[in-house]
Structure 1
Amino acid sequence: MEKIKIITDSTCDLPKELIAKHDIEVIPLEVTIDNVTYLDGVDITLEEFLDKMDKADESPKTSQITPGRFSQVYKKYLDEGYSIVSLHLSSKMSGTFQSATIAKGMLETDKIFIVDSQNVTCGLGMLVLKACALKNENYNAEEIYKIVLQTIPKVKSTLNFESLDNLVKGGRLSKTQGIIGGLLGIKLNLAVENGEMVVRDKVRGSKKALRYIIEYLEQTGISTQISPIVLNAAADKENAEVLQGIKRYLEDKGIEYVEAEVGCVVGTHSGRNACGIFFIEC
């Protein structure tokens, strides 16, 4: 039977217990704040990072994984006889996918299959869990790769943001898109579409924001083959109500879900007080 290793990067934002359960290799990106560089998910907690970000004079800087780091990890598993399926955040958001591709070329192997998830945070995490499920069903690495590619268009998201300031500062949204983010009482619904963050709509107040999310879930339909992931980016005050409302909706429907928290790299762009859900559509 083929030995397969599932590899991803720290922007998948999967809970540590799931990473351990599925024996996933997570390569951390780096984030620099106040001239100190941390490994995402390793050296600093989200709350510590957000506190530093609140006090910092400059916005944090994030760094992609280099081809050299990928090469070291890949070689380790290749030497142990593994085939590798390596899934990473959208190539439109980072050069990490390109670095992985370069590393594969350096190693001159056909035993590495690299996936541009066209997603980030738990959208990437959903695809990683899909790959793990296929591995457990004894699919080979190439089959896992092909099925995951077919699954990418089915990964959906609906996210509630209080402010778009960090997304604009980080270049994930334009200044024009960000203008609507500072209006009093306005909640922004965002999604990851075609590998990029987009503003889907704006509503006034938390109740309408929650209703908008639930309507989207109802219209799209949630597949339960892979549990949806409810994402928390330090949601507080009114957005905590939206977060709890998403959970109640899933519980009322009898849908098991995973709870996750953004890491520091994703937190650089989301900032505080955001939440939402990633899922695979029916």
Structure 2
Amino acid sequence: MRVGLIVDSACDLPFEFSRRNNLFILPVTARIDGQTYVDDHDPVKTAEFYDSGLLQKGHHAETEAYSAGQIHDLFLNEIVTQYDVAFCETVTRSRSRIFQNATEAMNSVMAHYHDAREAAGREGKFSMRVIDSKQIFAGQGLLAAHTLRLIDQKLSKNALRQQVEDFTDQIFTAVIPRDLHYIRERARRRGDKSVSAVVAFLGKALNITPVLFGKGAEGKPVAKTRNFDAAVEKVMNYAVGRIEAGLLTPYVSLSCGLSWEEIEALPGLDQLRETCARHNVELLLSQMGITSSIYIGPGSLCLSLAAEEHDFSDHQ
């Protein structure tokens, strides 16, 4: 039984990790300042996007998920013909239409896959499941890495589905938004009033950098720091402490809306690497993709791990 894993372009993972594990990416289209980018995690495109400076205008960007019809064609041509079972993990349905579109596409594919499969010379039935990851960015990456680990265990498709869905409720994410004004303006254009003008003003005037923390995409402020480096140190300390206390999967996912030079200079990164190495944990370090960097803004950081119930303050 050949099992395939599909994620969308809001899922942040190192490119080589995705390539090595044959992850299939559902693209998102981004339009900024008259230019169009199809975010399929191509590292060259991502580097060009960062170098262009367009991210500074990202709060004006229009992002568009592939339609159900486009996803149907991708599933039929690229997935049905290669795999016997497929799982599609999408960004949380509360932030995007991708889950809805992928589910509609899956239902259509399941009714019409037989001819495409026969033409490709693949025998037997095909089955598929679309799963709401309940995550964003690094959290999606962590779920994908854990799913690949489960696939390697040769579980039945029902056991695999159940374990993946259960795992979505065990992922904790810390986010550092670099520019609260960007977040507020981006949210306002999308009709999300969760970031008030007062908070954005205070962040700019007082140089406050918050740390948001919680399960999945439902983060709340847990710290306010005077600058970005101080916020990064808090998140790194949290990750180190949580690794030492124990994780539920041997991965930590860290994505950054920064250049690679800036990423390598992050305070506490070396200590995080050393702690991961001591505990046989793989650090999935990546530059944020186009989709996630537009959503959360330039210079931001997102870290995810899976663990038993705990508070951010437990590891400070």
Matched AA of 1:146:
Q
| CA distance in 2 between partners of 1:56 and 1:3 (Å) | 42
| CA distance in 2 between partners of 1:240 and 1:214 (Å) | 13
User: Structure 1's 153 and 180: CA in aligned 2 closer, same or farther, altered over 3 A?
Assistant: farther
The 5 A counterparts of 1:181-200 are 181-191=203-213, 193=215, 195-200=217-222
Residues 20-64 of structure 1: CA distance to partner in whole angstroms, max 9, x if unpaired? 111111121111112222111347324534634257597111111
User: Structure 1's 58 and 268: CA in aligned 2 closer, same or farther, altered over 3 A?
Assistant: closer
Task: Confirm or deny: 8 A CA contact 2:252 2:305 kept in the other structure.
Answer: yes
- The residue aligned with 1:62 is 63
| CA distance in 1 between partners of 2:248 and 2:214 (Å) | 20
Q: Are 1:231 and 2:232 an aligned pair?
A: no
- The residue aligned with 1:244 is 267
Displacement, 1:114? Answer: 0.9
Which has the larger Rg? Answer: 2
The 5 A counterparts of 1:42-57 are 42=42, 44-46=45-47, 48-49=49-50, 51-53=52-54, 56=57
Task: Name which of 145, 148, 152 aligns with 2:168.
Answer: 152
Which shows bigger deviation, 14-23 or 196-205? 196-205
Residues 48-81 of structure 1: CA distance to partner in whole angstroms, max 9, x if unpaired? 3463425759711111121112211222322445
* Aligned positions, number: 280
User: Structure 1's 256 and 239: CA in aligned 2 closer, same or farther, altered over 3 A?
Assistant: closer
TM-score normalized by structure 1? 0.86
TM-score normalized by structure 2? 0.77
User: Structure 1's 139 and 189: CA in aligned 2 closer, same or farther, altered over 3 A?
Assistant: same
Matched AA of 1:5:
G
Residues 74-117 of structure 1: CA distance to partner in whole angstroms, max 9, x if unpaired? 22322445211100101111000110111122224581111101
Task: Confirm or deny: 8 A CA contact 1:173 1:198 kept in the other structure.
Answer: no
Provide structure 2 residue ranges, at least 5 long, that are not aligned to the other structure.
112-125, 309-316
Task: Confirm or deny: 8 A CA contact 2:293 2:300 kept in the other structure.
Answer: no
Task: Give the secondary-structure state (helix, strand or coil) at the position aligned to 1:228.
Answer: strand
Task: Confirm or deny: 8 A CA contact 2:183 2:195 kept in the other structure.
Answer: no
Displacement, 1:162? Answer: 2.4
Matched AA of 2:205:
L
- The residue aligned with 1:102 is 104
Task: Confirm or deny: 8 A CA contact 1:162 1:186 kept in the other structure.
Answer: no
CA RMSD after TM alignment: 2.9
Displacement, 1:170? Answer: 2.4
User: Structure 1's 235 and 45: CA in aligned 2 closer, same or farther, altered over 3 A?
Assistant: closer
Task: Give the secondary-structure state (helix, strand or coil) at the position aligned to 2:45.
Answer: coil
Task: Give the secondary-structure state (helix, strand or coil) at the position aligned to 1:14.
Answer: coil
Matched AA of 1:233:
G
Task: Confirm or deny: 8 A CA contact 1:206 1:239 kept in the other structure.
Answer: no
Task: Name which of 218, 226, 245 aligns with 1:204.
Answer: 226
| CA distance in 1 between partners of 2:58 and 2:4 (Å) | 41
Identity score, percent: 17
User: Structure 1's 214 and 80: CA in aligned 2 closer, same or farther, altered over 3 A?
Assistant: closer
| CA distance in 2 between partners of 1:173 and 1:46 (Å) | 31
- The residue aligned with 1:88 is 90
User: Structure 1's 197 and 30: CA in aligned 2 closer, same or farther, altered over 3 A?
Assistant: farther
Task: Give the secondary-structure state (helix, strand or coil) at the position aligned to 2:25.
Answer: strand
Matched AA of 1:88:
T
| CA distance in 2 between partners of 1:164 and 1:229 (Å) | 23
